[in-house]
A = this chain, B = another copy of it.
Amino acid sequence: MSKRMDMPKESGYDAWLHYRRDRHVKQMPAWCRVIVVHETDDEVLQTAASELQQGLASMFGQQPKISTVPAHEPFVALGTFQDHPCVAERFSAEEQAEVSAEGYRIRGVEVSELAGLTGQDHADIKGRCVTVAGQTSKGVLYGVFHLLRYLQGGLDGKLKSTAKQSLHAPILDLLSNPANPIRMINHWDNMDGSVERGYAGASIFYNNNAFTTNMERLRDYARLLASVGIQALSINNVNVHQVETELITDRFLPDVAKVAAIFRAYGIQIYLSINYASPIQLGGLTTADPLDPDVAEWWQTKAREIYAAVPDLGGFVVKADSENRPGPFSYGRHHADGANMLADALRPYGGRVIWRCFVYDCKQDWRDRKTDRARAAFDHFKPLDGLFRDNVILQIKNGPMDFQVREPVSPLFGALEATQVLLEFQIAQEYTGQQKHLCYLVPQWKEVLDFDTYAQGKGSTIKRIVSGALHNSSNSNSHRGKAIVHANSGSLQEKPTHHIPKPTNFGIAAVSNIGADTNWTGHLLAQSNLYGYGRLAWDPDLSADEIADEWVRLTFSGQGKDNGDTELIPTIKQMLLDSWNIYESYTAPLGVGWMVSPNHHYGPDVDGYEYSMWGTYHFADCWGIGVDRTTATGTGYAGHYFPPVAGIYESIDSCPDELLLFFHHVPYTHVLHSGQTVIQHIYDTHFEGAERAAHLHATWISLREQLHETIYEQVLTRLEHQAEHAEEWRDRINTYFYRKSGIPDEKNRPIY
Contact = CB atoms under 8 A, between A and B. Distances in A.
Contact of A739 (B621, B731, B742, B752): B621
Nearest to A619: B739
Contact of A741 (B604, B622, B731, B741): B622
As for how many copies of this chain the complex holds, the number is 2
A594 to B, nearest CB: 14
A400 to B, nearest CB: 23
Contacts of A621: 738-740, 742
A604 B741 CA distance: 22
Interface stretch (A16-24, A314-322, A605-613, A683-691): A605-613
Interface in A724-752: 731-732, 735-736, 738-742, 752
Given A607-B606, A611-B732, A611-B735, A752 B366 contact: yes
B367 A622 contact: no
Contacts of A735: 367, 611
A331 interface: no
Interface string A592-606: 000000000000111
A389 to B, nearest CB: 43
26 contacts: A366-B752, A367-B731, A367-B735, A367-B752, A604-B611, A605-B607, A605-B611, A606-B607, A607-B607, A607-B736, A611-B732, A611-B735, A611-B736, A620-B739, A621-B738, A621-B739, A621-B740, A621-B742, A622-B622, A622-B739, A622-B740, A622-B741, A622-B742, A623-B742, A739-B740, A740-B740
A620 to B, nearest CB: 7
Contacts of A366: 752
A659 to B, nearest CB: 23
Which of A611, A740, A752 is most buried by chain B, counting CB atoms within 10 A of its CB?
A: A611
A237 to B, nearest CB: 24
- A contact residues, range: 20 to 34
Contacts of A622: 622, 739-742
A616 to B, nearest CB: 15
Contacts of A606: 607
Nearest to A597: B598
Interface string A712-732: 000000000000000000011
Contacts of A738: 621
Contacts of A623: 742
A741 B604 CA distance: 22
Interface string A605-646: 111000100000000111100000000000000000000000
A366 B736 CA distance: 12
A738 B607 CA distance: 15
A304 B202 CA distance: 45
Interface string A565-607: 0000000000000000000000000000000000000001111
Nearest to A603: B611
Contacts of A605: 607, 611
Interface string A454-483: 000000000000000000000000000000
A524 B752 CA distance: 45
Contacts of A752: 366-367
Contacts of A604: 611
Contacts of A611: 604-605, 732, 735-736
